[in-house]
Structure formats: C-alpha cells, structure tokens
C-alpha cells in the first residue's frame, strides 16, 4: 500500500524570547510579591518550554524577595503518590538542581470550604505558603465543553486539590463540570492564597505562542477569552470523515486522555458526546510514550492496539487515573495484535484501506499520512500540502518505517 505524505500549515507564532516574556508579563502585574515561600504549580503535561518558564518564574520571584518552590499539582496522576508526582515533574526536565529551587510534593490537602458542587481542597504546601503562582497551559478539555476548560482555574481546583478534588470533579455529571470549576475557583481566589496566574498558549506546532500574567481577580474573567484565542491555534486533522485513524503514540504528555478527544472526535464518556467532528469509524494506537510512565489512560478510546503498547501499560497507574475520572471506558484494553504490521493488515482486511490516516500523536499534527483516495479532499484543504509522489508503507521487525 502507498500513502501520501501531507504537511499542514498550522498556525505558527513561536515566542522569540520565552524567558524575557515571562519576566515582562510578571512585571506588568505591579503586585507586591509575598515575602516568604511562594509555590509554583507544575502539572503532568508535556508543555513546550515548561522547564524554562518555571525556572524563570522562580528566578523572578527570588529577585523580588520570595522563596520559590515547585508543587506538583496534578490531581491523582502518576499513581496518586507524592513520590510518583515528584518523579513526573522531574521526568519533564524539572529537577531541583535544574530549577534551582525545591520540589515539595505531598498528597495532603486542607479543606477550604464546602459549596453546592462539593468540597474545596488545597494542597497543604500551597496552603501553608505565603502565596501561590498558578502556572498552566490554557486549552480545550477532553471531557467537557464550557467557557473555562483546561487552564489556570482547573489547575487551582483539581491540580492543587489533589485526589479529593479530582474525585469530586470527575464524580460530577459531565455537563456540571464547567459550573464546578467556576464555583470552586472563586472559593480558591477568595482564600487569598493565589498570588497570580501565568497562562500559556501554544501554537499549532506545540510551541509557546503567548504568555499572560493574571491578577487573582482577573482569572475567571480573562480565562474564557484566552480559551477562545487558543481555538485559533488548536490543530486538528484535515478530514471530517475517516474510515481508519492510526495514532502512532499516545500518552499523558500529548493529552490528559492519551489521545485528545477534540482531535479524534470521541470522548469515551457514556451519555455525553458533544463533538460533531471528525467522524472516525476505527481507531488504532501503536505505542505508549515513555514520558507517560505507564499511564495509558485513553487506551480504551482505541479499537486496536499492539502488544508493544499493552506491555508498556502500568495497570495500577492507569486504573487510578481512570477510576478518579469515573469514565472507565478509557481504561478498557482493546483488541491486541502482535505488532504494527498485524494491526494494519487486520484493519485493511476487515475495514478496507480507503479513507485512512496515520498521525504521530494527537498533539503534533503538522505531518501526517493519508491513503491515496483522499488526495483531492486533502489538496482542497487550505492548510495542506501533499508530496507529489506517494511513499510505500513498509515494515521492519513488525514496525512501520514511515518517518514523521
């Protein structure tokens, strides 16, 4: 079989001086910096330039008399243990030595209040600090829609609330999640512990495009506007109707659900599907990225996987993350076949080789492959360029040899 190599001209707006923009944005706040221990939140996602952004934020705080430290703020991720969450931060390139500040990891939380949507919790180290600088990327969420999705507010409510808040959040009916973030987020802001927010926007190539420093009272008002800006950058696949999508690699560093549901058009949440594109009949996943540390949440969104991916799964970590969300569909093990070659063979044999696409992951979509029958549709897409000659789909040791 031959495939067409396609390049998408995604929105590109990389910051030339990321560290300089961090300082510029934080300077623009004109706030008195707390003179004591100040926490900087770090999540589990593979955010572009995150070590540089965190390190510069810490240096800026120290220059203003604070004593910065890192708090892993990732709900119940990486086994739901203090050790596991610190390891996740370090795996993203943020060791204490590299950052020049300590990491204080704990699963202990302090209850701040009870509201209509549930109890509001805060990481003990954040609660005992002089202030918290909430740092996160703003983007579409993989479970629900709303004016506030993944970003500063969710980091405050779920990330800083560790397992109790993650369980409360994900135990709620999916349509209620957007209301919960706003209600609980207001409680956290009113606590007086939030010093500032630093929101990151990435372009279509997963590069840092914009940084926005927010005063505490601005977070809930400005974050919806930043989410709309994110939509202008967000990459998708150029075809709305596919027979088969093969995802080369899945994992937490690409999406909170391993595969971004906004890209594949399927949430895996029973009774709640608000996505109308794309429409994909069959999904296969070939591997789990090493940085995911065995957490294969979202594997159940696929119909086929390789034995290689199955062997890479840490069932305990995956179970805890999925169990916390309550969407158990995402933990189910799909039909498992020996290798890439067998997956392709069986899909083509049963479902045909037409309307086929192969992508590296659901975060990096500038280069992909499609079947030859899609040439005219892809060529008509304003963002796409197709190589003139198709390439042969070949395998070595059972693995495909296409390069991204």
Token pair in block for residue 365: 């979509």
Are 313 and 276 in contact by the 8 Å Cβ rule? The answer is no
Q: What percent of the chain has pLDDT over 70?
A: 95
Burial (CB count within 10 angstroms: exposed 0-12, middle 13-18, buried 19+), residue 404: middle
234 CB-near residues (< 8 Å, 6+ apart): 139, 140, 204, 262
pLDDT at 225: 94
Q: What is the DSSP letter of 45?
A: S
Q: How far apart are CA 87 and CA 80, in angstroms?
A: 12
Token pair in block for residue 357: 């696409």
Q: What is the DSSP letter of 103?
A: B
pLDDT at 194: 97
pLDDT in tens, 187-197: 999 999 999 99
Residue 46, Cβ neighbours under 10 Å: how many?
20
Are 54 and 135 in contact by the 8 Å Cβ rule? The answer is yes
CATH number corresponding to 31-233: 3.40.50.11440
Which residue has tokens 């990389």? 14
Are 106 and 81 in contact by the 8 Å Cβ rule? The answer is no
With 0.85 as the threshold, say if the pTM is over it: no
pLDDT at 78: 65
pLDDT in tens, 244-288: 999 999 998 888 889 999 899 887 776 655 566 799 999 999 999
Q: How far apart are CA 297 and CA 318, in angstroms?
A: 5
Sign of CA dihedral 233, 238, 241, 242: negative
Helix (H, G, I), strand (E, B) or coil at 224: helix
Q: How far apart are CA 160 and CA 77, in angstroms?
A: 12
Ordered by start, the domain boundaries in the chain are 2-10+236-400, 31-233
Token pair in block for residue 390: 């198709």
Task: Name the stretches of the chain with pLDDT < 70.
Answer: 76-78, 142-145, 174-175, 270-276
Helix (H, G, I), strand (E, B) or coil at 263: helix
Are 4 and 371 in contact by the 8 Å Cβ rule? The answer is yes
């Amino acid at each position: 079989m031959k495939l067409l190599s396609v390049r998408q001209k995604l929105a590109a707006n990389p910051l030339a001086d990321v560290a300089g923009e961090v300082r510029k944005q934080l300077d623009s706040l004109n706030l008195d910096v707390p003179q004591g221990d100040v926490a900087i939140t770090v999540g589990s996602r593979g955010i572009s330039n995150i070590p540089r952004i965190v390190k510069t934020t810490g240096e800026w705080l120290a220059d203003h008399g604070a004593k910065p430290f890192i708090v892993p703020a990732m709900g119940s991720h990486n086994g739901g243990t203090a050790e596991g969450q610190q390891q996740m931060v370090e795996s993203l390139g943020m060791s204490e030595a590299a950052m020049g500040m300590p990491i204080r990891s704990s699963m202990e939380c302090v209850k701040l209040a009870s509201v209509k949507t549930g109890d509001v919790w805060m990481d003990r180290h954040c609660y005992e600090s002089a202030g918290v600088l909430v740092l996160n990327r703003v983007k579409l969420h993989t479970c629900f829609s709303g004016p506030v999705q993944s970003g500063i507010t969710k980091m405050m409510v779920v990330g800083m609330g560790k397992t109790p808040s993650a369980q409360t959040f994900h135990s709620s009916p999916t349509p209620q999640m957007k209301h919960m973030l706003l209600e609980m987020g207001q409680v956290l802001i009113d606590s007086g512990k939030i010093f500032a927010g630093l929101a990151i926007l990435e372009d279509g190539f997963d590069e840092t495009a914009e940084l926005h420093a927010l005063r505490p009272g601005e977070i809930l008002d400005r974050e919806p506007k930043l989410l709309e800006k994110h939509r202008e950058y967000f990459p998708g696949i150029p075809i709305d109707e596919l027979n088969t999508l093969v995802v080369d690699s899945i994992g937490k560093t690409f999406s909170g659900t391993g595969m971004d549901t906004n890209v594949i058009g399927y949430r895996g949440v029973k009774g709640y599907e608000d996505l109308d594109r794309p429409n994909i009949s069959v999904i296969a996943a070939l591997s789990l990225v090493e940085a995911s540390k065995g957490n294969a949440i979202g594997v159940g969104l696929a119909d086929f996987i390789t034995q290689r991916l199955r062997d890479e799964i840490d069932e305990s970590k995956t179970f805890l993350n999925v169990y916390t969300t309550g969407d158990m569909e995402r933990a189910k093990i799909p039909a498992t076949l020996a290798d890439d070659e067998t997956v392709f063979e069986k899909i083509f044999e049963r479902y045909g080789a037409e309307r086929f696409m192969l992508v590296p992951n659901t975060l990096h979509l500038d280069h992909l492959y499609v079947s030859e029958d899609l040439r005219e549709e892809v060529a008509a897409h304003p963002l796409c360029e197709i190589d003139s000659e198709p390439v042969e789909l070949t395998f070595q040791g059972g693995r495909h040899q296409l390069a991204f």
